[in-house]
Structure 1
Amino acid sequence: MSEATDLVVIEKSNAMAVFTSKEQLDPLLEKIETEARSLVPDLTTKKGRDAIASMAHKVARSKTYIDNAGKDLVAELKALPKQIDESRRIVRERLDALKDEVRRPLTEWEAEQERIKAEKEMNAWHAEALEMNAEFDRQLAARREADHEMALLMNDKFDRDREEQRRLAEQARRDREEQIKREAAEQAKREAEEKHRAELEAAARREAEARAETQRAEREALEAQERTARLAQEAREQAEREKQEAIAAEQRKAQEEASRIKREAEQKEAARLEEEKRVADEEARRAADKEHRRTVNRRVIADLIAQGIPEEFAQKSMLAIAGGKVQDALIKY
């Protein structure tokens, strides 16, 4: 914020209230107006003229200071959406990391439970396959024993048949074991595929939710930015209107002040001319009176001389009478 002036100080914490409330702004302007108008203009001395110029300069500095304070406030409002977005990004990243950190033991436990379950199922399938093989071996052993007893009673053909049967039985056992293994592998594969598909679906849902959250956050940020821009524009328009009104008011006041000063100067000049005329008229009157007295005094001297009084005595007599030194004698001017 700009440096404070001699006429006004705006605290940064109170700047928003000053520029958005006439109840705050009007007293500020009225204080400046009151202090500026308290100056009694005196154009007759250099000190008085300097005082007028200094007060006008203070008013101009106050105007620049208030306007710059408004500009600083608008700049802060423009930077506010970026600060909010940055804070939201920090909140998302840190809380997502915290969520993963807090859930990690449960996630690891769930994965371990899935592994144990799959291992148990695989062990169950293996035990079942072993049991089936054992049963097949028991049945085969029983048939072998029966075949052996019959072989003792039968000829080579029966021996060959028995051997063929044993071979077929052995092949059937191997085929059965391979089939069990294939079925177990296919079952494990299906379950792994189902688990993978479930994980993919869960990841897709999380991604969709994250995308929806991002879109919502972007909409909110855009709305906040538009709202802030609208408020800033309204504030600028209001400030511009008030600025133009203040300029017009200042111009009217300046014009009125200039007219008042001009009237006072004209009145002082008229008074000065009147005084000069009075002094000149007084001096002219005194000069005329002096000349009139001189003329009268010369006539008195001439009249005394005409009566046979010497000129020197005539002059002294006139001066004595004019000076009031001769009782009951008076020169009428």
Structure 2
Amino acid sequence: MSETTELSVIEIKPEQAPALYIPNGLESYFEHIKASVSEAPDLSTKKGRDRVASLAAQVGRSKTAVEKPGREYLKRLKEAVRPAEQEIKRFVDACDLLRDETRRPLTEWEAEQERIAAAKAAEEERKRIEAEQLAAAEVQRKQKEADHELALLLNIQHDRDAADKAAEAERQQRERDEQIAKQARIDAELKAKQEIEAAAQREAALKAQAEQAERDRIAALEKAKIDRIAAEQKAEQDRKDAAAKAEADRLAAAQQAEREKQEAIEAEQRKQQEAEQRRLAEEKRIKDEADRRAADVAHRKVIGTAVVNALTEHAGLTRDQAIETLKALMERKIPHTSIQY
């Protein structure tokens, strides 16, 4: 990522994901984006306002460029654990069903016991009401006997009136007793129903709590697995990066050593070549000098022989005299004379 006034295109490859989508793994990208929009354009100009809008849009595009591969990486992680999640859910559902089937006789027995208890309570209430009714009837009977005795002392009309009133009172009491018994039966049935419903609600609440606890446990296991996979992938990536860096450093060091070795060999070869060239040049110089001197000696000898022959032939000198004269000429002992070689 280059430091420019424009945000560079962010590209995250799939193989980079395990090392980036970890705690604070994206901090360098955020710092880069933050640094890239740190300028403060002049809002008093249209150009400055447009620049602010452009920077904000760039932040949004950069966010999407980092978020999209992250979502895809997370999707791959979820797909990787989905078979395990499905198998766990199948197992849990089967166990829940087996648990409910296993407990069903006990649940039905408990419900039956509650129903029996409610029926027993209703029966006891009925007996209580019947006892109260019998007591009331006994009171009425005694009252009727008293009324009868009194009626004997009263006239027939008074007896009729009393009988009618007693009958009406008995009818009303009977209606009240029936209403009380009916209400007691209804209350008992309602109470039994409420207790059964409460037991079912408690069972449902316990089941919901157990299911929620199981979901929380599965979620914790999934999170732990994802964290473990991410940590293992990061450790593996770090190990690969370290191995790659070590290998690269080793290759670089080997290449550097090979280059230095080759350079030393080439330098030694150049040194030997230069020494050989100097030796050959010196040998050539010596040979050329020797050849030159030999040629000069031969040339001087030819000229000297010619001079000696000329002196003996034209000057009437003996050979020894001619040689001595040549030596005098060579040593420049005779003024105004010289030998041209």
Query: TM-score normalized by structure 2?
Result: 0.49
Computing the radius of gyration over CA atoms, which structure comes out larger, 1 or 2? 2
Query: TM-score normalized by structure 1?
Result: 0.50
